[in-house]
Every structure is written in C-alpha cells, then in structure tokens.
C-alpha cells in the first residue's frame, strides 16, 4: 500500500503510517530498528530495494531522506516536505517512508526524521553514496548507534578511507570492510589449519579498491608483516597470499562465486566466496550494533 503526501509534516506522516498499517493489517510489533537512508534521487531506488530485501531479516522502519535541489531560482526559496508512505508488500517486511525535502527544510532533516523514529529502538544511518566528513557529528548521524558509509562509491576511495580514519567514532563502519567478512573468515580458518607463522603477505585486486586496502591494513595490524599490493583486472579482490616457512597459503578468486584454497601439505580445495549484494551487506551490518573494534584498528593502521 502506498500513500502520497504533498507539502506535509511529520505529524501527518505518522498518521498516514498508522492508517496504512491498519488498512493492511500490519502490527507495529516486530520492528527491531529504524534505518535512515540519506541519498539522492539517482541512488534512492537501489538503496530502497536493498533495504527492503534486508528488512526480511531485520523488520524495520526505513526513512529515506532525499534532498531535492530546484533548478529555477524562484523555486529554491520554496520550503516543502513531500512524503510517500509504503506499507505491506511495497516495503518488504517493514515500513518505508520516502521523504523529499525542498528548500530550508533540507538543512534541518533531523527535525523531520526525529518524530518518525521508532520509540525505544536502535537507529542506523546509511549513506549509500555521499557521506559527511564526520558521520558522528552529522545531525542525522548523531541520532544513530550505527553509521554506515561506503568508500567504494566515492570518487577517490583511498582518500575516503583516510577521511574515515581521521573522523572515526565508535559505531562507524563502512561497506568496504563488510565486503571482507567472508575473506577474513576463510583466511583465519586457513591459518588455523596450517598452524604456521606468517612472514609476508600479498593482496591482489583491481586498482584503488578500498576493500583490498583495508585487508592489507588488517594483515599489517594483526600479523605485523609487510604486505604487498598487486594490481589486477579484478573484479574486486582476486587473490590473497601468505608466506610461511612451510610454503605459501593462497586463496584465488579470479572471477565467479568460488575460490581455490591452497595450504602447504594439503590438497587444494574449492570454497564458496561470492561477491555479495548490497542487501546482504546491509543485512550483515544490522546484525550487530556495537562498535567494530577490528574495523577501527585496521582503518587506523599505517602501512
């Protein structure tokens, strides 16, 4: 069910949510958090689609904050809030409200969002593309227990990581780090099986890949060994090598959803290691709302 509201306010939006919920017979119980997505019109569709898919694992109220920039000078002075309320099958397993902010109200998005937050529930803010330099000090970011950015979507991903390191606050995370979870799990399991001391490491990936940069920093932080960066055609991280006195531990994933794991003295194995969708990445981030100390340590590590 969809309800369109033009030139509205937070009170009317809350009323529309209640009416829509009654109409489709959807109770409020079961909502576990409020997800605030701050994006533009161009990226709103993909972000909402990913959030709806993630909501099947984490039923939530999703508030999509879209700032509209008028082209005509006269229209720039018009302050208006338009909203689209979606409940039921149009909103996954939760509720979705698209908030389109015009004029002065766009600079006070927190005053619009605050009355729409679920009471006594965690708040997560996600910037799919353009994130503030200091997410924790952003008016919307300051409302959240978890703040999600994505260096991969930035024009200069490596510079974006430097900005994140300088502004890090507990609760910050980045999807470039989330993409590494299967890699880190597989590498830790390989080291346990090998039982050898790592003396060197190498990460192969496409150029300027923030996940590869974070993986290199994670190696340096955890193992204290030199890490070589090797540029390949991608996609994303294609291989990781760890040197040991017994030989090389290697994980190769040149393309496709599988990787080949090689450990000295053991037969080579095929492991599942697909490139995950944005919805899967967001669903993983919503499973934990406590500070990610491993991310903070890797982010701040200086090669």
3-state secondary structure of 30: coil
Q: What DSSP element (H or E) covers 200?
A: strand 200-205
Look at residues 3, 68, 64 and name the one whose alpha carbon lies nearest to residue 35: 64
C-alpha 296/C-alpha 169 separation (Å) is: 9
Q: What is the pLDDT along the chain (303 residues), one digit of tens a residue?
A: 899 999 999 999 999 998 888 887 766 557 889 999 999 999 999 999 999 999 989 899 999 999 877 665 655 667 899 999 998 777 777 899 999 999 889 889 999 999 999 999 999 999 999 999 999 999 999 999 999 999 999 999 999 999 999 999 999 999 999 999 999 999 999 988 888 899 999 999 999 999 999 999 999 999 999 999 999 987 889 999 999 999 999 999 988 889 999 999 899 999 989 899 999 999 999 998 999 999 999 999 987
**With the C-alpha atoms ordered 112, 118, 122, 128, is the resulting torsion angle positive or negative?**
negative
Nearest to 34 by CA among 101, 90, 115, 89: 115
**pTM recorded for the entire structure:** 0.92
Residue 171: closest CA among 203, 123, 237: 123
- Find out whether 261 and 268 touch, Cβ atoms under 8 Å: yes
Please, what sign has the CA dihedral across residues 123, 124, 127, 128?
negative
Of 119, 181, 118, 177, nearest to 147 (Cα)? 177
Q: Which two tokens stand for residue 281?
A: 């990445």
What's the alpha-carbon Rg for the chain, to the nearest Å? 22
Phi, psi of 258 (to 5 degrees): -125, 155
Instruction: State CA 91 to chain mean position distance.
Output: 19
């Amino acid at each position: 069910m969809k309800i369109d509201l033009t030139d509205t306010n937070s009170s009317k939006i809350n009323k529309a949510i209640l009416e829509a919920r009654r109409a489709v017979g959807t109770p409020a119980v079961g909502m576990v958090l409020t997800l605030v997505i701050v994006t533009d019109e161009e990226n709103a569709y993909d972000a909402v689609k990913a959030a709806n898919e993630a909501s099947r694992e984490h039923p939530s109220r999703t508030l999509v904050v879209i700032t509209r920039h008028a082209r005509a000078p006269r229209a720039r002075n018009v302050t208006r809030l338009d909203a689209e309320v979606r409940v039921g099958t149009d909103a996954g397993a939760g509720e979705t409200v698209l908030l389109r902010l015009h004029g002065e109200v766009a600079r006070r998005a927190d005053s619009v969002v605050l009355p729409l937050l679920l009471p006594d529930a965690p708040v997560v803010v996600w910037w799919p593309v353009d994130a503030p330099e200091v997410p924790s000090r952003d008016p919307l970011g300051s409302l959240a227990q978890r703040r999600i950015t994505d260096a991969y979507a930035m024009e200069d991903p490596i510079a974006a990581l430097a900005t994140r390191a300088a502004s890090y606050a507990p609760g910050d995370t980045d999807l470039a780090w989330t993409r590494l979870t299967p890699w880190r799990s597989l590498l830790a399991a390989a080291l346990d099986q090998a039982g050898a001391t790592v003396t060197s490491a190498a990460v192969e990936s496409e150029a300027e890949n923030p996940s590869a940069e974070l993986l290199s920093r994670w190696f340096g932080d955890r193992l204290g060994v030199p890490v070589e960066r090797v540029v390949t055609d991608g996609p994303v991280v294609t291989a990781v090598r760890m040197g040991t006195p017994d030989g090389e531990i290697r994980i190769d994933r040149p393309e496709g959803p599988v990787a080949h794991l090689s450990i000295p003295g053991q037969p080579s194995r095929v492991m599942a290691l697909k490139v995950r969708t944005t919805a899967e990445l967001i669903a993983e981030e919503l499973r934990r709302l406590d500070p990610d100390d491993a991310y903070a340590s890797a982010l701040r590590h200086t090669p």
